[in-house]
Structure formats: C-alpha cells, structure tokens
Structure 1
Amino acid sequence: MDKRIALEVRQATKKFGGLIAVNDVSFEVHEQEVVGLIGPNGSGKTTMMNLISGALPVTGGYVMMGDTLLSELPPRKIARAGVARTFQLVRVIPAMTVLENVMAGATFGHKRLWGQALRVYSQRQLERVGLADAAEQPMSNLTYIDQKRVELARALAANPTVILLDEWLAGLNPTELQTGIELIRSLRDEGRTIILVEHVMDAIRSLCDRCVVMSSGVKIAEGSPAQVLSDPQVIEAYLGEDYE
C-alpha cells in the first residue's frame, strides 16, 4: 500500500515586489519519505522552505499537512502542527546554554513538555547529535558545526512529524558527513518525514527517495536521484556539463 501524503505543496508562489522567487511550484511528500530539494543557488529552495515553515507567507497557492492548511497559519502554530526546521544560516539563542536552546524547541513544539521531563528529553536529543557533554556550556563556546548540531537537536526536541533541513550537512568533514547521513536516515527509520535542501550529492544519492529540482523559482524536474541527476535540463541548469 502506498504511504499517505504527509505534506502537499500546490502552485506555491512567492513574490517580492516584481521578483518572483517561487513560481507555481507543486509537489508532494509522503509519510516517512526523504525528499531532496536541490538546484543552483538563488533557485528558490530556501524560500520554499520558508513558505512551508511559515517564515514567509505565500503570495499564491497553498501548503497542506494532512487536513491542516499550513499556509494560513503563523509559524508558531505550524510548529505545533508538527513541522520543525533548521536554517541555512544557524539561528541559536546566544544568551542561553546549549541545553536551554534545545529545551526551547520542546517547549514550543508539537508535543510540549515542562519541568524535569523537558530537561531529560532535551538531554536525550543532545545525545543523539553527539553533544551530551556540552549541555551546560554557553552557545558562544561552540564551533559553528556544533551550533548546527544544537539547532538539529532543538528541532528534534519539538518532536516533529515533518523536518525541514536547510543545508544541514554543509561544511562537515567526511567523517562528520557520514555521521550526519546516518543520523538523518535514523530519523526517517523512526517514522519522520524529511525535506532537505542540500548540495552534497553523496548525501542526495544516499538519503533521498525522490528529488525536486528548482531553477529560477520554478520546478524543472522531479523523480528519483538517478533520474534527476541524469536529466539534461538539470545538468545544464545545475550540475554542469562535466558532471558524471
């Protein structure tokens, strides 16, 4: 039996004055699926993630999760509906400790927790991303890569059904990259649905069930990684003629 649709984007459009950043884009993501959102810089990928998460309102079209019309909700209600994300440029709360940053995700997420239950659950998310020993440190003590780990732990603390990862694997060394790929795969295996914006083709091939390719704000291809990475239009717009 085919898995149910977890997230549906229909004719999504975003205009900034005369600039159309996302133009009439439609795609579906099924439960427990990993979908890669790929394309050249400036193609509208992060804008699409912002439309799904509510960071930006749609100009036209809509985003649905089950029976919930996400595109009519503010970001906080989208988070409570079960959508969590990381950002292309890491966003943490500098005045809080590492653990407190993660606790914020659990407090305002899909299944909110309080008190000791909140601390224990948040600590477990830090363990998942390899930062269990850094819980009481200030965020300023962490490297950029470790701040990315905290941001993912915070997203997981919200206990989302849909996770949006915006270039979370960027900047990792080969060992860290493999660990990150295994972590994302484990999230899918436990039943979560994932949309990831990524330029690391090894991760796209390893993780993604399907890919949606954007260029200049429009969708130019959709299919399995093998299909889209061999598509002449994708090669011309994104990968380059020397890609193999």
Structure 2
Amino acid sequence: MTVDSSFKAMDGQAPLLQVAGLTKRYGGVVAVNDLGFSLGKGQILGVIGPNGAGKSTLISMLGGALQPTEGNIFFNGRNITATSAASRARLGIGRTYQIPRPFLDMTVEENLLVPLYARSPFANRKIVRLECRALLEKTNLVDVADWRARDLPLLRRKRLEVARALALKPQLLMLDEVGGGLVDREIDELIELVRQVAPETDGIIIIEHVLRVVRECCSTTMVMNFGEKFAYGPTEDVLASDDVAAIYLGSAHKKQGRAEGANAAAQAGAEPVPDAALSQASHGLDSIVAPPRTPSGEAAPELLRLEDVCAGYGQARVLHGLSFGVKAGQAVAILGCNGAGKSTLSQVIAGTIKPTSGSLRFDGADITSMAPHRIADLGIAQCLEGRRIFPTLSVEENLLLAARRVAPKEQKERLDAVYRLFPILAERRGQAGTSMSGGQQQMLAIGRALMSRPRLVVFDEISLGLAPVIVDRLYTALDVLRKAGLTILLVEQDVERSLDLVDTAHIVSHGNIVLSGSAVEVRNHPGLKDLYVGAGHEEPRESVCV
C-alpha cells in the first residue's frame, strides 16, 4: 500500500503529537526505524502490525519509558524527547498497559484517588471525591468501588486501567492492547468505553491487535512492519488493503523480491549460506536430531497430544479447549495473529504455564502437571520467542548449556553439527551471544535448542523482527532439519512461509482452533484472509477441518 505521508492533522489544525525520525536500536536489532507521523486534535489513531513490528517500543518511547536512539517527539509544539515519563504525565500524556497494573491490595476507589491526588496534592477532599465518583460512573465501576483490585475480573481491571489514566486528565490517551484476552461480548463493552472517553481527551492512540477495536474506534490507522511505517491513512482504506493483509499472512516478502538481499546479508554479518550448502549440512545431523522411534514399515505414532486444553494468566482467559496432535517426524504449524494465544500454547507445552483444564501427553506419558525440566528431559526443546540469549556467555557457551550433561566427545559432535548448519556461529564462537545481529542470535537460539538432541522442538516466532531474506535462510535450515527426521511444532504468524514447510496447520483465533487441515488445504481455504484481517464483526467461529 502506498503510504500517504501528507495525511496530517485534521482540519488544518496544528498537530497534538508529532513524531519525526524516531529510531530505537538494541545492539544490532533495530526495533523502530526512522518513524514519522502526526496526530491531530480530535483524532483517534490506530496502530497495528504483526508481532515484532515495533508497536510496544513505540508506545514506550511516546510515554517516556524508553529513550529513542534518534529522532524527536513534539507534544503541543514542545519537544519532549528528553522529558521523563513523570513529566510527560504532568503535561497531559496518559497511557494504559497491555497487562493492567493496579495496586492490587487497594480498592478500586483508592486506585483512582492515587492519580487524582498526584495531579493535585492539595485539592479539596470533597472535590476529589466527586471527581473520583464521576470516573467510577464513566467507566462503569461504581458497583465495585470497594473491591480490592486483585479481586476484579479482567474486563473490570481493564476499565480500572483506563480510569486511572483518565484521572490524570490527559490531553493524549494511549491505549496499549486493551482488547487482549477479552471475549467478543467484552470487546463490545470496551469499544463503547473508548467512545465514551474520547470527548474527554484531545486525541487517542490505540495500539491493538484486535482489529475490530481499530475498525470501530479509529478514524486513521498506521500499520507498522519491521519497525517502519508501512501504511498510514483512513482506517477503512488501510484495512481493505491487500498489501496490509499480506504482512499479516506473511506473503509480503514474495512481493519484495530479493532487492534487499544485500542489506539482509549485512544484518546477518556475513554472506548468506547457499541453500545447497545447507542441504549438504543435513548429512551427519544424527548427533542433534533424535530419530523417530517408529518400527520399520509402521505408521508414525502420535508423539504429542493436547486434549481440550484451557489456560491463561490470572483473570485472562487465553486458550479455550485446544485439541490437536503431532506425529513423530511430522512438521505442524500453529498459526494466528498476535494475541491469538500461540505463545501461551508454547508455554503450556513447556510446562511454564499449567493448564486450567485438559491434558497433554508426550509419547504416551501424561505431562500435564510435569515440571518444565522434566518435560525437557523427555525430549521437548523450546526455541523461545525473543531468543533469550545469555548476554554474559559466548556463542559457544550458550550452545553448550543445552548439552552440559553429555560427554565431551558428544558435545563436540553436536557443536560441529550446529556449526555446519550455521557456519557464522563457528566464526563467532568466542563472541558474546547478544553482540551479534538479530538474525545471528536467532540462529544461535535454534542451535541451542538442537544441542539437547531433542525429539520435538517448538519453534516460537523465529521470524520475529528479522529481514525477509534472513527468515528465508532460517526456514531453509528448518527444512533441512525436517528432512533429517526432526519433529517440528512451528508457532508463527508468517502463514506463507510456514505452509511451505509443514505437513499440517491449525489456525488459532481468540484461543480457539478455527481452521485445520493440510498445508495445501489451509492455504487455499477462502476464509484464511478473513481470519487474519476480518472484514467486520468478529463473531465466534466453529472449528473447520478441511
């Protein structure tokens, strides 16, 4: 989609917020790159994009929690780039958080009195109480005013989060993924709340993955991808764009071609490894790929089975009765938008989040309540979202952590196999793990998962924030591992690349599996695009097997 850089403040007014050249780097990773946009007075701007696009980094820079590496932020014509978060709040910038952060042991009313008195420490008590009562009424919290915040259900906590931000009387209100974890009925209430509070502010920014909230609340929408502004304009036009749909489905890279190959190679820090060389690396991977335990001539048994799994975080309900299986030697994808529940599913399989109901079995053994380290001992390895590289350890030390209980000779064999798969790691073996580029760190994370010689690896969002040509190389490596017999569970947003790799795919939406089938069947399903960038009201869907 063509970016309309001339789409500025409404009615020719001076903008409430103006961002110019905003950039944030973390070592070799560029989270936000040369971003510019403006927010007019009276405007509600939606900010959307796939996981890892830079949305959370952006709101943290706007709120003052993070300082940009480059660029400037202007609020009401004043440069606030170096202004602290507390000072920005006093100037009139309020925000909510993805996970509500009330004072848990205070009542709802007390939680609102804190920002009210922070804004006016010597205000008349009667006036403050009247303001507090008005906020409770506006956000529909009067009936729970005396409840402790920890006792509130999720939607009420989100209402309290908005009320606390409004208590500061912000000119600019920033709502960070307030729709996360809510069911459709609760989304209806949230949309109505946003409409009610809009007149109380000069402008609102909604960073959201629930696109219905953006569609029904925002006049303007900005799409971010790889830390940059991908599209900006009227919401209806942006959400109808095939190019915007492509970045959610993961097919945008096919339109871009190989023009950016040189830049991506620079990100990797070396010339890309030819696909042929990666294919040759498949020989001798027995040291890092445990072969399926299937008698000759017999059908592959089911290695992993989830049955009616429900899980979440406190009051947030995330997974709603997921059931599926993974056969030995099979590659299966779990696909869906940001917030669908994919990473929660990864953590349930790892044992770091316990399901509230349902069961998990691995090679016939019940692992539902098993400790994470016991699950790992059975042969399930995790390549976690965010890479989780130990910053004080070298590349080789990071790799050896996963093989610390095997003999030195076997350690060397496993290292050699990983280095054949990713030669750049051999070149950087003595370098600190986090000093490398994002692409190299992802290679290290994959290599570390393989060092335990797993029977199944869960790869969680390995394409996150990386240039397309680097992601192509990573997926070529996964294909090599698949052909070597590794059982793969791929948790991803990138539909096109995933479907090129796997045998079977399941699409997850709002914590439910809504579409299942072979890679070909899922790719050709007419409802696939709508599941990612739905065209209207998102009613609950029945699971469809094709």
Deviation at 1:191, TM superposition (A): 4.6
What TM-score do the two structures reach when normalised by structure 1? 0.92
Residue 156 of structure 1 pairs with residue 161 of structure 2:
no
Q: Is the 8 A contact 1:43 1:216 kept in 2?
A: yes
Corresponding position of 1:243: 529
CA distance in 2, matches of 1:75, 1:177: 29
Residue 194 of structure 1 pairs with residue 204 of structure 2:
yes
1:163-242 matches, cutoff 5 A: 163-238=173-248, 242=528
Q: Is the 8 A contact 1:211 1:222 kept in 2?
A: yes
User: Structure 2, unaligned stretches of length 5 or more?
Assistant: 1-10, 252-527, 531-546
The residue identity in structure 2 corresponding to 1:10 is A
Deviation at 1:36, TM superposition (A): 0.2
Q: How many residues align?
A: 243
Q: Is the 8 A contact 2:172 2:201 kept in 1?
A: no
Secondary structure class of the residue paired with 1:243: helix
CA distance in 1, matches of 2:238, 2:204: 18
Residue 20 of structure 1 pairs with residue 30 of structure 2:
yes
CA distance in 2, matches of 1:112, 1:169: 33
Corresponding position of 2:57: 47
CA distance in 2, matches of 1:134, 1:125: 13
Deviations 1:29-63 (A, max 9, x none): 00010000000111110110110010111111011
1:4-15 matches, cutoff 5 A: 4-15=14-25
CA distance in 2, matches of 1:99, 1:152: 13
Corresponding position of 1:138: 148
Q: Is the 8 A contact 1:212 1:222 kept in 2?
A: yes
CA distance in 2, matches of 1:172, 1:192: 27
CA distance in 2, matches of 1:180, 1:239: 27
Deviations 1:88-146 (A, max 9, x none): 1211112322111112222334x667323222212221221111121122112112221
Deviation at 1:239, TM superposition (A): 5.2
Aligned alpha-carbon RMSD (Å): 1.9
Residue 89 of structure 1 pairs with residue 375 of structure 2:
no
CA distance in 2, matches of 1:21, 1:141: 36
Deviation at 1:188, TM superposition (A): 2.4
The residue identity in structure 1 corresponding to 2:88 is I
Corresponding position of 2:137: 127
What TM-score do the two structures reach when normalised by structure 2? 0.43
Corresponding position of 2:127: 117
Deviation at 1:230, TM superposition (A): 2.7
Aligned identity (percent) is 34
Q: Is the 8 A contact 1:52 1:70 kept in 2?
A: no
Gap change, CA 1:82 and 1:112, over 3 Å in 2: farther
Q: Is the 8 A contact 2:170 2:201 kept in 1?
A: no
More displaced 10-residue stretch of structure 1: 77-86 or 215-224: 215-224
10, 14, 29: which one pairs with 2:39? 29
Which protein shows a greater Rg?
2
Q: Is the 8 A contact 1:33 1:188 kept in 2?
A: no
72, 86, 104: which one pairs with 2:114? 104
CA distance in 2, matches of 1:69, 1:94: 35
More displaced 10-residue stretch of structure 1: 159-168 or 187-196: 187-196
The residue identity in structure 1 corresponding to 2:12 is D
CA distance in 2, matches of 1:8, 1:194: 13
CA distance in 2, matches of 1:56, 1:34: 23
The residue identity in structure 2 corresponding to 1:126 is L
CA distance in 1, matches of 2:14, 2:70: 25
Corresponding position of 2:507: none
Q: Is the 8 A contact 1:107 1:158 kept in 2?
A: no
CA distance in 2, matches of 1:197, 1:218: 15
| Greater relative contact order structure (CA < 8 Å, 6+ sep) | 1
Gap change, CA 1:20 and 1:177, over 3 Å in 2: same
The residue identity in structure 1 corresponding to 2:38 is E
Gap change, CA 1:221 and 1:44, over 3 Å in 2: same
More displaced 10-residue stretch of structure 1: 85-94 or 170-179: 170-179
User: Structure 1, unaligned stretches of length 5 or more?
Assistant: none
The residue identity in structure 2 corresponding to 1:143 is P
Q: Is the 8 A contact 1:123 1:135 kept in 2?
A: no
Deviation at 1:235, TM superposition (A): 1.2
Secondary structure class of the residue paired with 1:15: strand
Gap change, CA 1:144 and 1:104, over 3 Å in 2: same
2, 14, 22: which one pairs with 2:12? 2
CA distance in 2, matches of 1:186, 1:169: 16
Secondary structure class of the residue paired with 1:11: strand
